[in-house]
Amino acid sequence: MDRRTWLSLTAASLAAAAPSLKAFAKDFPGGLAPRGTFGKLERLPFRDLESNEDFLTTYRTWVQAEIWRAADRRAVALLKEHGIDPQAEMPMADALKLLEPDPIIALSAQTWLRGQELMWANMVREFHGNADKYVAEMEAADKAGPGTLELKPQMFIPDYAKHEIHMQPGGYVGNEFAGHIYYYGTHNFYSGANYQDETHAQYASKVATPADGQVKRVLELGCGTGQMAIALKERFPEAEIWAVDVGGPMVRFAHMHAVDCGANVNFMQALAEETPFPDGHFDVVTSYILHHEIPAEISKKVFKEAHRLVRPGGIYFPMDTYARRPIGRRTARGMFSLWWIHRWNQEVWTIEYSELDSAAAMRDAGFSVNEQGPGAWPGYKYNLLGTKA
């Protein structure tokens, strides 16, 4: 028996013996529950794999962050040497010419990328190396409740969705373990603040509600591994929760995760810009870090679809990142980072997303837009709240 199975048995017996342990885990000081014995993030099955992951998470959080700060300082020094105000805006081509050849800046980019590659490689080795076991787990969950899963193997997958964004092998649609790989990969990305989906719970707590307070049906677009959808169910326990994603493996994993958590969420493989739901079906539509990973033209379509889907007075609350307007972050260092994320971390749509005036596009879609909505992060697009008249 591997540790994962053993620990889940331990969890079951602990939970049966003392149901309050789960509640205790949620409120554990610092917000982090003791890991692995119970809770949401299932432990990796072998200690060597987990220690590899722990090393890479620690490396990213402490070492890489420090190397990155050294590169920031280096960029400031270089700009000053050239008589340029580091806060001044600079076209991307000029920023690259100036900053890319610098060895400290290059080192920061290279070490980050290699860490990322190692992280993915660990996950691919585990999940593909034990494919039968992990497929059997998903098969066992496919028809289980409380929520539902709808996969559409024949669905048209647009080319823009096939990229290996942030270098994830096979991306979201081309690897049957995409959900597994993403879930543990983002655990690393969230520097470990993911054991109990706590990052998602934090953002779910900021999701706006319609002025009349009615939240009967909620939809998440681009739900990935379902962490936000599950957090939304916890926030709105009486509401019917739906979540869609273009990636079949993503919703399949999401459903399995929801079944494990006992969360009544309905997952469906569907395009965010073309869902099968009726007009005005939802009180709240939301998305979390979807828009920076789709072309700007598709973002506009998603805004229109969200507008179609919410009832009058209903809202769309997209939470996303990398906004460069209206608050300018187009400094030389900012432009270098944007290029680097686009080119090397393969966030292929992020430059055009940064150039999209999302508030204007939401208005074009029919929403009235509050640019200082709940959970506003200055300079980010976390703050856009669209309300349907």
Ligand X SMILES: C[S@@+](CC[C@H](N)C(=O)[O-])C[C@H]1O[C@@H](n2cnc3c(N)ncnc32)[C@H](O)[C@@H]1O
Shortest separation between residue 16's beta carbon and ligand X, angstroms: 31
Shortest separation between residue 115's beta carbon and ligand X, angstroms: 18
- Of 98 and 185, the one with the shorter C-beta distance to ligand X is 185
- Using CB atoms, what's the residue nearest to ligand X? 224
- Of 67 and 294, the one with the shorter C-beta distance to ligand X is 294
Shortest separation between residue 250's beta carbon and ligand X, angstroms: 5
Q: Does 185 bind ligand X (CB under 6 A)?
A: no
Q: Does 254 bind ligand X (CB under 6 A)?
A: no
**Binding-site member from 109, 215, 228, 284 for ligand X (CB under 6 A):** 228
**Binding-site member from 39, 185, 192, 224 for ligand X (CB under 6 A):** 224
Site residues (CB under 6 A) for ligand X, limited to 200-219: 200
**Range 353-357 contact pairs with CB under 8 angstroms and sequence separation of 24 or more:** 353/291, 353/292, 353/293, 353/294, 353/296, 353/299, 353/320, 353/322, 354/292, 354/322, 354/323, 354/324, 355/296, 355/324, 356/291, 356/296, 356/299, 356/300, 357/325
**Binding-site member from 176, 197, 293, 305 for ligand X (CB under 6 A):** 293
Shortest separation between residue 176's beta carbon and ligand X, angstroms: 14
Q: Does 227 bind ligand X (CB under 6 A)?
A: yes
- Of 53 and 273, the one with the shorter C-beta distance to ligand X is 273
Contact code string over 154-183 relative to ligand X, x by CB under 6 A: -------x----------x-----------
Q: Does 246 bind ligand X (CB under 6 A)?
A: yes
Q: Does 247 bind ligand X (CB under 6 A)?
A: yes
Q: Does 348 bind ligand X (CB under 6 A)?
A: no
Shortest separation between residue 224's beta carbon and ligand X, angstroms: 2
- Of 140 and 155, the one with the shorter C-beta distance to ligand X is 155
**Binding-site member from 38, 288, 303, 317 for ligand X (CB under 6 A):** 288
Q: Does 341 bind ligand X (CB under 6 A)?
A: no
The contact set with ligand X (CB under 6 A) reads: 161, 172, 200, 221-224, 227-228, 244-247, 250, 271-273, 288-290, 293-294, 298
